[in-house]
């Protein structure tokens, strides 16, 4: 009896990278049960409760293997470089597990996340097909491929753009992207860990058999069309891939949803900077005063402030975030707001009828969850490709507004926060934004329907995986 083809998936470290790849695996197996999937997971430290819960709830045809925790790696404030290092140091362990899987199963392919690209060499070593799973959209994908076309002149081109204050044209996009919109690592010194790590990621796009992207045709139609015209690699827009439920403590879940049940329809602004985003203490105060000044209802997930915008990505919080809020803020806003420390059931919150807006860091997972639920956004990007996502949302799709940063202080002032809240929650501009994002929500549903473009892309990928 022939064994089912097995696919090994290597996610980048971190919950926000694990979740979309798990959702992709579920979708693949739901429609193509001729496969089995095993996750091989690089680790730096013990799993967080949230990650453990995701893995414990995997369906029977998805297994997982935890690689040994890596030790003594060079520290970096850049999450991408840190994740790349974790995976790089895990490669010997990955080789062992892949060899073991080959002896037990009909292993045909390695599918790895954007910062797990060192796994490509393992795929080559064992003659497996290789696919890059990019949990973000088509615009940054197209931009990375544009950089590849510059070959060895990547850094000099970036330096020129920066010095000339020029814009970057992304093939298929109708708006130009400014040099300040591109991911930070590409603006670092050529010798830096951050730059080298990101450059390696860009180069892998041209080597793999295919690239799986978490987007759909109505969201980025022209960019996707141009990507799919390329001979190699093949591109598979299979999104939106998103969770149906949050991995959250029941008491927090119940508290948030109970509070929302008592609010009028479309009256609440949800405020959250993703699974690892943080702002400075000064910015935290201005955000708090701005929410208060707006007079609108809000549900705010607060984290301990930090000058490093990604500080909560790998390190848990020891202090109580609520201790950092302005004096008297919680008492003054208790009728209008609910403040939750560190974590909240985002999927259920964005799907609730009381939500009328989302102040978001523009991580792609949060962006898709907002689009799927038809929730207008305030775009507040922090790091990675989030500024490119924000540009897409505000200037091209026009489903979000973006607060202006004060030139002197470098932060968003309270008056600007209040103004942005009102822009998406009331008035004619708000109605136009709501109309556009509801149309995208319908497009997302059509793409993932039985004969939708994303389902067809998934079937095309499954056929290639099976016939390798």
Asked whether the beta carbons of 230 and 319 are under 8 A apart, the reply is no
Look at residue 157 in the predicted model and tell me its pLDDT. Answer: 47
Mean pLDDT of 296-321: 81
Cα 149 to Cα 117, 138, 145, 152, distances in angstroms: 19, 17, 7, 9
**CATH superfamily entry for domain 5-239+448-466:** Glycogen Phosphorylase B; (3.40.50.2000)
pLDDT digits (tens, 9 = 90+) for 5-37: 999 999 998 888 899 999 999 999 999 999 999
What pLDDT score was predicted for residue 260? 98
Mean pLDDT for the stretch of residues 189-200: 80
CATH number of 250-444: 3.40.50.2000
pTM of the predicted model as reported, rounded to 2 decimal places:
0.93
User: Residue 66: which H helix or E strand, with range?
Assistant: strand 62-69
Q: DSSP for 89-151, please give it.
A: HHHHHHHHHHHHHHHHSEEEEEEEETT-TTHHHHHHHTT-EEEEEE-S-HHHHHHHHHHHTTG
pLDDT at 336: 96
Yes or no: say if 194 and 188 are a contact pair by the CB < 8 Å rule. Answer: yes
Burial class (CB in 10 A: 0-12, 13-18, 19+), 403: buried
- Report which DSSP code applies to 394: I
Alpha-carbon distance 36 to 49, whole Å?
Answer: 25
Query: What's the CA gap between 279 and 311, in Å, rounded?
Result: 9
* Average pLDDT for 349-358: 98
Q: Which residues pair with residue 131 across a beta bridge?
A: 111, 210
Residue 142 has pLDDT above 80, yes or no: yes
Find the Cα–Cα–Cα–Cα dihedral 188, 193, 198, 199, rounded to 10°. 90
Q: Say whether 250-444 and 5-239+448-466 share the same fold.
A: yes
Per-residue pLDDT, 160: 45
Q: What was the pLDDT predicted at 316?
A: 59
Q: Taking a C-beta distance cutoff of 8 angstroms, is the pair 242, 217 a contact?
A: no
Q: pLDDT tens digits, residue range 362-400? A: 999 999 999 999 999 999 999 889 999 999 999 999 999
User: What confidence score (pLDDT) does residue 152 get?
Assistant: 45
Strands 297-302, 337-341: pairing kind: parallel
Supply the pLDDT for residue 10: 98
Using pLDDT thresholds of 50, 70 and 90, give the confidence band for residue 89: very high
pLDDT, tens digit, 9 for 90 and up, residues 310-329: 655 555 567 899 999 999 99
Q: How many CB atoms lie within 10 A of CB 431?
A: 11
- CA 178/CA 166 separation, integer angstroms: 7
Cα–Cα distance for residue pair 25/277, rounded to 1 Å: 26
The DSSP result for 264-329, as a single string, is -TT-EEEEE-TTT----HHHHHHHHHHHHHH--EEEEEE----SSTTTTTTS---S-GGGGSPTTH
Residue 366 is inside which H or E element, if any? Answer: helix 364-372
**What are the extents of the domains in the chain?**
5-239+448-466, 250-444
pLDDT at 153: 46
Question: For residue 346, which of 366, 331, 332 has the smallest C-alpha distance?
Answer: 366
Residue 248 has pLDDT above 70, yes or no: no
Band (pLDDT 50/70/90 cuts) for residue 249 is: low
pLDDT over 60 at 174, yes or no: yes
- What CA–CA distance (Å, rounded) separates 365 from 350? 12
Structure confidence at residue 356 (pLDDT) = 98
Predicted local confidence at residue 42, as pLDDT: 96
């Amino acid at each position: 009896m022939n064994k089912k083809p097995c696919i090994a998936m290597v996610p980048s470290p971190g919950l926000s990278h694990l979740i979309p790849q798990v959702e992709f695996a579920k979708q693949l197996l739901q429609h193509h049960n001729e496969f089995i999937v095993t996750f091989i997971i690089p680790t730096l430290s013990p799993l967080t409760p949230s990650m453990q819960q995701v893995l414990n709830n995997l369906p029977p045809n998805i297994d997982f293997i935890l690689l040994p925790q890596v030790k003594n790696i060079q520290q970096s404030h850049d999450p991408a470089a840190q994740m790349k290092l974790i995976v790089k140091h895990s490669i010997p362990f990955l080789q062992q597990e892949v060899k073991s899987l080959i002896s037990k199963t009909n292993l045909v392919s390695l599918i790895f996340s954007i910062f797990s690209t060192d796994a490509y060499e393992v795929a080559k070593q064992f003659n497996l097909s290789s696919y890059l799973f990019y949990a973000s959209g088509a615009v940054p994908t197209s931009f990375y491929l544009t950089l590849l076309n510059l070959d060895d002149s990547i850094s000099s081109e970036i330096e020129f753009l920066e010095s000339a204050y020029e814009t970057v044209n992304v093939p298929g996009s109708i708006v130009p992207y400014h040099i300040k919109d591109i991911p930070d690592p590409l603006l670092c010194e050529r010798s830096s860990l951050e730059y080298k790590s990101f450059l390696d990621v860009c180069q892998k796009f041209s080597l793999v058999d295919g690239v799986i992207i978490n987007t759909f045709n109505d969201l980025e139609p022209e960019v996707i069309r141009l990507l799919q015209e390329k001979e190699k690699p093949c591109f598979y827009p299979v999104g939106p891939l998103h969770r149906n439920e949050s991995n959250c403590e029941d008491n927090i879940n119940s508290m948030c949803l109970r509070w929302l049940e008592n609010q009028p329809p479309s009256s609440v602004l949800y405020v959250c900077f993703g699974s690892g985003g943080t702002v400075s203490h000064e910015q935290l105060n201005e955000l708090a005063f701005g929410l208060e000044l707006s007079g609108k209802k809000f549900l705010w997930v607060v984290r301990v402030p930090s000058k490093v915008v990604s500080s909560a990505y790998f390190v848990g919080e020891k202090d109580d975030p609520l201790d950092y809020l302005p004096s008297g803020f919680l008492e003054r806003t208790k009728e209008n707001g609910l403040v939750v420390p560190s974590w909240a059931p985002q999927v259920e919150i964005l799907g609730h009828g009381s939500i009328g807006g989302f102040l978001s860091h523009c991580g792609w997972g949060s962006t898709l969850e907002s689009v799927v639920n038809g929730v207008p956004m305030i775009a507040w990007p922090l790091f990675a490709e989030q500024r490119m996502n924000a540009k897409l949302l505000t200037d091209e799709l026009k489903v979000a507004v973006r607060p202006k940063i004060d030139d002197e202080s470098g932060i968003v002032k309270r008056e600007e926060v209040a103004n942005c809240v009102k822009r998406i929650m009331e008035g004619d501009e708000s109605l136009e934004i709501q109309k556009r994002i509801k149309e995208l929500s319908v497009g997302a549903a059509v793409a993932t329907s039985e004969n939708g473009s994303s389902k067809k892309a998934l079937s095309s990928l499954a056929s290639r995986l099976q016939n390798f």
